[in-house]
Structure 1
Amino acid sequence: MVAIRGLISRLWGGGHQALSEQQTDEDDGAGTARIGSLKREFAEHPSKGLTPARLYQILEEAEQGQLKAQHELFDDMEEKDAQIGADLGKRRQLAAELEWQIVPPDGASAVEKRAAEQAAEVFSALEVEDLILDLGQGIGHGWANLELSWARDGSTRYIEQPILRPHSWFRLHPHDQNVITLRDHSATGAELWPLGWVQHRHRAKAGYVARMGLHRMLAWPYLFQNYALGDLAQLLEVYGLPGVVGKFPKNATDKEKATLLRAVVSMGKDARGIIPEGMAIEFQEAAGKGTSADLYKTMMDWCERAKAKAILGGTLTSGTGEGTNTNALGNVHERGQASLIRSDVRQYAGSIRRAILWPMAALNFGIEKASRAPRFYLDVGETEDFKQLADTLPTFVDMGARIPKWWFHEKSGIPEAGENEEILMPRAQPADAFAPGGAPAALKAPAPRRGLAALAVGKDGRETGDDAPELQLARLREEGDAALEPWTERIRQAVDDAESLEDLRDRLVELMPELKGEQFAQVMTDALAAAHLAGRYDILEGD
């Protein structure tokens, strides 16, 4: 126990208390500072009656350290705006559904490997997907604080499911805009206990803590869209029903006019009534109604696209793109979204390693350096195509490139086998494949011809001689046509099916990934090599 306390003091200062209780527990009556009253607070929902002046005031107060109103507004925005809620939920869910893994650091010792195994066992008992979703709140708010609860099994200490605490519970330290404290009755707030929190800072945009949340960028489109939506609702309320006009004769009495007025009012909501003979009621449509509604809709569409760009990096993965978008452009937007997810998961992994894995490794195994703590990964599936690796790697290795094994395993996604694990073996050669001399017959076969030598051999395998350039050119033409034949057929079909030049352009863009050029590239490589060698031969011979 003394050794653990000494380690905690060196690494995290006064972190002993967090190992036995939570900072937000209710006051125990013993005079200990508690923040339990925060659990009895209700949100004030600052989005109600929000105006540009009030929004500016909320954002300015947050920069001065008072975060409560800003982050309650952010919660309202995500709850009330379907576009913001759906896109942020999609971005968080894409990261949460990834497979997780905990591995020891590079060149790990036996102790560091045991620390990684213990951490993986602890995480297997947690709801890791919920943990990632909670950390994902930092995308919009800029940060997320999860309170830790520690337990122990004998001498082993481990964490239980971290709990996300509302952003409105916190404020900024008045003397340091990057320090978050718990709100209490003091001027600075209560300092967060070491070992008691996962303080995740998510840099969706640069800036201080109060300004690094993505919701700061979304607040203005949210406000403008609400104004446009409200104005559109008023327009529909006024012009949604056709105007009703009653006409009475010149000699109508006041009683007859009153009767007509009652009929007009009733017709507005009941669409039926009676009037004296000689009077008339006409239904008139307001001029320019459609044009006015289109103006509001244009404003709302702009706000929707602006929010989608800010959250997902594009509009086509959010359903707010224009109707003329192509599949190729959609793929570009999807790649931009994937880059955001990769950045998110790296930031989640860093916070988990720093606030959870390192403390557990230090307390249980005495690992004092954060760089030697286990690593947390979310597998984003960044692997290369197996066929492409198989085709290109042998070429580079034959050229003398020194390619480390770990790079191959990382790019292929194939894990490296441990010392005691069974591995796949190449298929055994049949017995008749061996020559009488004892060596495999395949090893005695001549190497495949390349370059000039390949072009100097006919299809029947016989040498054509160096004085047969016409035969070499004919063979090159034949092999090149065979390599390009699939391209020609697909492009011809696209031209026949296209309805316009724009349609043909889009079809060709979509077709490009399917046109494999490996065979044609090999033919051209052989041809260029042959031409190069023939030129060198002519120079040496003095021709």
Structure 2
Amino acid sequence: MAILDQHGNPIKTADIQAPQTARTAWLQRQWADHPGRRLTPARLKQILDEAERGDIQAQSELFADMEEQDGHIASEMAKRILPIPALDWDIQPPADASADEEADAALAKALIEQLPGFPQLLANLATGIGHGFACAEIEWDNSEGQWLPVSLDLQPHDWFVVAPDRKTLLLRSTNVQSWPDGQAVAGDTLQPFGWIVHRHQAKPGMLARRGLFRALAVTFLLKQYALGDLAELLEIFGIPMRLGKYRSGASEEEKRTLLNAIMSIGHNAGGIIPEGMEIAFEAAAEGNADPFMAMVEYCDKTASKLITGGTLNSQADGKSSTNALGRVHADALQKLTSSDAPQIAASLTRDLVFPLLQLNSRRPVTLRRCPRFVFDTSEAEDLSLFADALPKLAPIMQIPTNWAHSRLKIPQPKDGEAVLQAPGTAQPKPPQDTATATAALSAAPTTEVDGDPTPVTALSEQLQTGAADPLKAMLDRIRQAVDGAESLAALRDDLLGLYGDLPSEDLTKVLQTAFACADLAGRFDVSRGE
């Protein structure tokens, strides 16, 4: 049986025995040029223009420098990336799935759960948010009769080029390919089943322009200039201006000696100069760091808005940040995660789930009917709010239990699985003479109400009838005390004295009988499986 890739083309298992990059070892000997270390406006324009023409090497290296050199960008990107590996995930069969498709979904999930470092793979693929793409190479192993990835390594973004169609990624190579439009590009087609290729659309446009870092490149450049100027200001701030005076006819060597003394005296607080020369100290250099810090803060806030959708989760000045507004921005970040995760899930379905099933399933699988990798991006509802609302709504509307479980993110119990239950209430002690209780229960009307031979209404009416005389006797004694009281104070004393002498024995027997009836009725319901 031929094995088909995602595009319906047959592949040979011999082609995936070794990673594709093992045949291009020269890539691993390449060193990054680090364009971010000497970035200028002209150089930035050149890098971005080259990327639009397909050569994304310099742009990818610049993006790596941005995250490495700017702590604020690195921190904000971590907030955007790290929630994704923490999400719950599942493999879901297609709609109206057959038994075979259900089995395929279970097989794919079992295989993926065995993969080493799978959460790290999710974080690696999420780097495509900044770069616009991320490519993880798969190294397969079939030593135990089952095809499984033994490594899923994210390869450097600068190892790839964009084909003339502006959407296909190629592995950088010395081989030159000719495309239908006549353009030539030095790159190899990525091996099917050998890569997880994630193209992330943080913003629309061609592949080279989709990454968030491209929108941050200008602010990164401005921040570097502001920090450089601020460093120069701090180096000379507060140091007096030093002027050296040399005599007429001084030699070049004497002038250099005087200059060295001037430049070092500010740090060393001392120095020597030839006789006849003079150093004069003018007013200390003045300056203000506020303009530079304003530029730095502007760049940081712009980065926060682009990456996380707000600034209040990034600022800790205690002035603009509030708990309520922080929650609003946290909700915005949650919405971004809900947008990022499905894009990564689609790439995993195409480039991981589908190959796993094609190589290990007993039957061919089509990409259209392939089980889907899905993330659970929903948030659990407020338990206290639902605990108060559901009991009030249940009597007036039909609420599916599956809906409540999904909203509260509480899984349905499996067969035989222990579940939590409300603590049982202590049962009242029944009377010693259970014959009385049995007789009382038997005396209840036997007419069934909704099929129940012991209706609660009938028992309640019997309790009310039986308790009427004992309650009347007790109330008569209290009424006599009230009628004979001479004052409120005297009535209080009479009631306190009367408390222990009230005729409560008959009422106690009625209540004991009622509790026993309720106990027996409950046992009867349990016996019927209710």
1:383 equivalent to 2:380? Answer yes
Q: CA deviation at 1:76?
A: 1.0
Aligned to 1:142: 132
Q: CA deviation at 1:23?
A: 1.7
1:132 equivalent to 2:128? Answer no
In structure 2, the CA distance between the partners of 1:266 and 1:40, relative to structure 1 (3 Å rule), is: closer
Q: Which of 31, 42, 67 is residue 53 of structure 1 equivalent to? A: 42
In structure 2, the CA distance between the partners of 1:421 and 1:336, relative to structure 1 (3 Å rule), is: same
Aligned to 1:368: 365
Aligned to 1:19: 16
Aligned to 2:142: 152
Aligned to 1:78: 67
Gaps of 5+ in 1: 27-34, 447-543
Distance 2:240 2:81 in 1: 46
1:337 equivalent to 2:333? Answer yes
Q: Which of 3, 6, 31 is residue 42 of structure 1 equivalent to? A: 31
Deviates more, 1:61-70 or 1:416-425: 416-425
In structure 2, the CA distance between the partners of 1:440 and 1:388, relative to structure 1 (3 Å rule), is: farther
Contact 1:12 1:194 in 2 (8 A): no
What is the TM-score of this pair, normalised by structure 2?
0.70
Contact 2:159 2:172 in 1 (8 A): yes
Contact 2:193 2:355 in 1 (8 A): yes
Q: CA deviation at 1:25?
A: 1.8
Aligned to 1:227: 225
Contact 1:9 1:15 in 2 (8 A): no
1:169 equivalent to 2:159? Answer yes
Aligned to 1:241: 239
In structure 2, the CA distance between the partners of 1:162 and 1:281, relative to structure 1 (3 Å rule), is: same
SS at match of 1:75: helix
SS at match of 1:414: coil
* Matching residue's letter, 2:168: V
In structure 2, the CA distance between the partners of 1:254 and 1:56, relative to structure 1 (3 Å rule), is: closer
Aligned to 1:270: 268
Q: CA deviation at 1:239?
A: 3.2
Aligned to 2:80: 91
1:69 equivalent to 2:58? Answer yes
Q: CA deviation at 1:232?
A: 1.8
Deviates more, 1:367-376 or 1:353-362: 367-376
Q: CA deviation at 1:81?
A: 1.2
1:439 equivalent to 2:454? Answer yes
Aligned to 2:107: 118
What is the number of residues matched between the two proteins? 425
Q: CA deviation at 1:7?
A: 4.5
Contact 1:15 1:193 in 2 (8 A): no
Distance 1:444 1:247 in 2: 116
Superposition map of 1:119-518 within 5 A:
119-125=108-114, 126-152=116-142, 155-174=145-164, 176-184=165-173, 185-186=175-176, 187-188=184-185, 189-244=187-242, 267-272=265-270, 282=281, 284-287=283-286, 289-290=287-288, 293-319=289-315, 323-365=319-361, 366=363, 368-370=365-367, 372-380=369-377, 382-401=379-398, 403-419=399-415, 421-423=417-419, 436=441, 437=444, 439=454, 441=456
SS at match of 2:36: coil
What is the TM-score of this pair, normalised by structure 1?
0.68
* Matching residue's letter, 1:360: L
Q: CA deviation at 1:157?
A: 2.2
Q: CA deviation at 1:306?
A: 0.7
Distance 2:145 2:4 in 1: 15
Gaps of 5+ in 2: 177-183, 431-436, 445-452, 462-530
Larger radius of gyration: 2
Aligned to 2:519: none
